[in-house]
Structure 1
Amino acid sequence: MFSIHDVKNYVKNTSEFLVFRIIGFFVRILPVSGVLLLGNCIGYLCALLFKFRKMEVESHLTIAFPEKGSDWKNKISLRSYKHLAREALLFLRSPQLDENCLRKNVVIEGLEVLEESMRQGSGVMIVSGHLGNWEMGVAALAARGIPVDVVVQSQRNPFIDECLLDLRRRMGIGVITSKQGPYAVLKSLRNGRVTAWLGDQSPGKRSVVVDFLGVPSNTPKGCALLALRSGAPLFFASSIAISNSESRYRLELQKISVPRKQNVAEAVEQLTQAHAKLLGLAIRRNPDQYLWHHRRWKNRDR
């Protein structure tokens, strides 16, 4: 027997999924230039309509860039809305990209070092952040024959969640959901695969406090802990859009030195600080491509 709450949730989820599929249909028939234009328009409208969220974005920019003025923060805030909308739409049409297109449109720096690390046989861990188009970066690795799994959080809407998982699988990307836990990650690494994470959420208790953009920040420690336990090499990755008129990206891979002879807690903090620092540097170079919309510092005063 379904409750009224269940019925309301079903109607809400179904309605959202219908809108999602309609948008997906249009972005698949539009040229890239049309998708980018549509993304700019959607981003601008969201910034205009959701003023409270835009104020929250600017408050996050104030935390990270206290030296910047209001005009700069307003400009970066608007650009970040447009960037997020553009890249979300491009992700929806990404299964249409074949391997040759991904090889052409995504330049990878550090691929040789990654491939050398993979030959060690213990898998490789990649940590990134909500910067640029992280989905396109992972797809570019898969297009080059790199066996890669992404660790993802489940979406609230189960219909949209399954659709997003299917999009990734169609691009040759394996998926590990957060519900599967660390054992699925360790299994992936034992099979010699690459596992990719986003390590800039605000995780609450499952965290270590490190410096991020000049602010003491709760940062997930799971990636660092599993790298130490598995012995897998750890890389930081940033996938940056290098054109606002084309779907072109630069994926930078940087190997992080993993401490071996050290207290585990200290080593976890050192590794977490290392990838947080690299992410912070990448954000400062491309502030308009970071997801300032999520509440990165919601636990900073706890």
Structure 2
Amino acid sequence: MSEEVLTRASELFSSLFGELERVIVGQREALEHMVITILCNGHALVESNPGLGKTLTISTLARLMELKFSRIQCTPDLMPSDITGTYILEEEDGRKQFRFEKGPVFANIVLADEINRASPKTQSALLEAMQERHVTVGRETFPLERPFFVLATQNPIEMEGTFPLPEAQLDRFLLKIQMDYPSPEEEMAIIDRYTTNVVPDVKRVMGREELLMLQRLTRDVPISNELKQRVVKIITATRRSIPEIAYGASPRASIGLILAAKARAFIHGRSFVSREDVDAMAYPVLRHRIILTFEAERKGLTSDMVISNILKSV
């Protein structure tokens, strides 16, 4: 990757985060992880308490990149056709014909709010679109426009009336992002920003073609064989007889960790992947892919604690 390309990309990322931070206070790591997911052409699962700005963040990202944005509020009575779209009967010149009415999944950035409140059938319809990048209704297949990014959210504190995502479906998310409450200083800044008549506004930073180019460049960031071997050791360690882990990560995690590390290096203005990039991205890549044993959960261990121990041992 040439120095000129890296400099131009660094300017774009600097402008992107600068505009985002005019609207979102704090949450820098979560913002980076969302952009990393988009650069890797993947999807993200966000787990956080209500009111932390998930919808505002992702809709602002769509505006900064001039992308189509849609929001799906997942509820138990949501049907697959409410997401993918359906055929409607129309009459024109005395003739009746079916026309396909596209659903909210036909956008560049889709927010699936509280995905675990939708029924398994509806979850499957969305996850099929995520994996295959197209929607099949009846006998016709409709491709989804690139780039296509799904940000699904779930609320960790209210599990009544929910349908937890199966492990095989969780594996389709590149990252699991966690958003925490702001610090007192950050909360004061939020209050000052959103209790006046002056509403923060943002300007376009890049367009669809520039984003697609950045996605291609992300895959060109070099990574050494030594670091590739470290990634494989980390992932295979989750499958060994570690007493805290019931089920380990699949090869999809190896691919995801390398791509995420490349994207992180790219965002930070480096033309190569470092060990720091691999270790930093191991947490969001693995925290939803490893299943802890009941005994580990009883002791109060979290996925991040187990991942930390693996990184130290490899």
Superposed pair shares fold, TM > 0.5: no
In the superposition, the TM-score normalised over structure 2's length comes to: 0.24
Bigger helix share: 1
Task: Specify the structure having the higher radius of gyration (Cα).
Answer: 2
